[in-house]
Amino acid sequence: MIRGTNIKEKIIAVSRHLLGDEKTYDRLIDRGIEIRGFRKFYSEENASVSLPERKSLIYMADGKYMHGGPTDRIRAMVSAYDFALKHGLDFKINHSSPVNLENFLVPNKYDWTIDASVISYNSKQSKPLFLYREDFDNVTALERQLDEHRQFHLYSCVDTVQEDFSKLFSELFKPSKELATALEPYEEILKEPYISVSFRLQNLLGDYTEWKFQPLGNEKQKKELIDSALDAIKTIAKANDVKKILVTADSPLFLEQAKLLENVVTVNGKSIHIDFNSSQKISDYIKPFIEFLLISKSKKVYLYHNKKYNTYMSNFPKYAAKLGDIDFEIFEA
């Protein structure tokens, strides 16, 4: 897997040198659409839809392929909204996989909702667009994909807004009634200033299903990682004058250990990856949305990174910090 990835990156580097970024990325995008089979859903034989005169950009999370975790999806939606505003496009969100986004986030200042019946899959009316790499100019790449079609369906997990994230997020979203209700008890517990510490262990402890990630080889290694992470919480607590510490993690096993520490608050609920679970229970997916909004209201945000075990450098706490305009720091162990 790693060897193949390295070969691919070398080929891309040579292509960028010989052909330039635009031609290279356009070819990668076209190839990506082909591999993921997006075009097979579009045909002239499909029913046409009565479309408004104004062209529209629809962010798609419909289960046709992996869309990333909550952070990947949120930052891509915010970026797509920004692009649509700047290019005179109507903007909508079709987030139906595995459940509807409106169960957690609803429109705030801009109505991005769309009924499935007005999404066209007639190839004369609409086409799929795709973005997936951070190391190219995604704005111009998206511009080059626009054409005479009236409806564009964007599959993306990239960020093109950076510092405007908080403003645009707040224009798009506010908590649903269900999410607001779920937030209340934690907001009551965390009334006074608190910090947050996030851990992304990706099944290293063998308790979190995500793609092909494998657990550590033995119990000694697992214990070493848990002890290091718990020590990080204690060290960070000593460095900050707060009474509460919000701890978020994708590992149920680690969270059980962390909440035994003094002043630690954790969020109840399942730890599952939204891309690797087909459950239709809303309660199975609400935990990261609660955590994201709670992190955004903390005094300071930390992400734990273990160099020995190469824990994942998650964007989840970083974007929550962006939302709240809060200092973000990586704690190296």
Dist CA 310 CA 314 (whole Å): 12
206-234 as b/e, with b when 16 or more CB fall inside 10 Å? ebbebeeeeebeeeeebeebbeebbebbe
Q: What is the pLDDT of residues 59-79, one digit of tens each?
A: 999 999 999 999 999 999 999
Report the greatest alpha carbon distance in the chain.
65
Per the model's pLDDT, the better-predicted residue between 163 and 4 turns out to be 163
Q: Which of 177-191, 222-236, 277-291, 306-320 has the lowest mean pLDDT?
A: 277-291
The answer on pLDDT for 191 being more than 80 is: yes
| pLDDT over 90, % of the chain | 91
Q: Over the chain, what is the mean pLDDT?
A: 95
CB atoms within 10 A of CB 40: 10
- What local confidence, expressed as pLDDT, does residue 310 receive? 93
259 close to 251: Cβ distance less than 8 angstroms: no
Can you tell me the mean pLDDT for 235-247?
Answer: 96
| DSSP assignment string, 49-112 | ----SS-EEEEEESSSS----HHHHHHHHHHHHHHHHHTT-EEEEEE-SSS-GGGTEEESSS--
Dist CA 71 CA 200 (whole Å): 13
Can you tell me the mean pLDDT for 20-31?
Answer: 98
CB atoms within 10 A of CB 242: 17
CB atoms within 10 A of CB 87: 14
The answer on pLDDT for 315 being more than 60 is: yes
- What local confidence, expressed as pLDDT, does residue 25 receive? 98
The secondary structure of residue 266, as a DSSP letter, is -
Per the model's pLDDT, the better-predicted residue between 151 and 3 turns out to be 151
- What local confidence, expressed as pLDDT, does residue 2 receive? 46
- Contact residues for 281 (Cβ-Cβ < 8 A; gap 6+): none
Q: pTM (2 decimals)?
A: 0.94
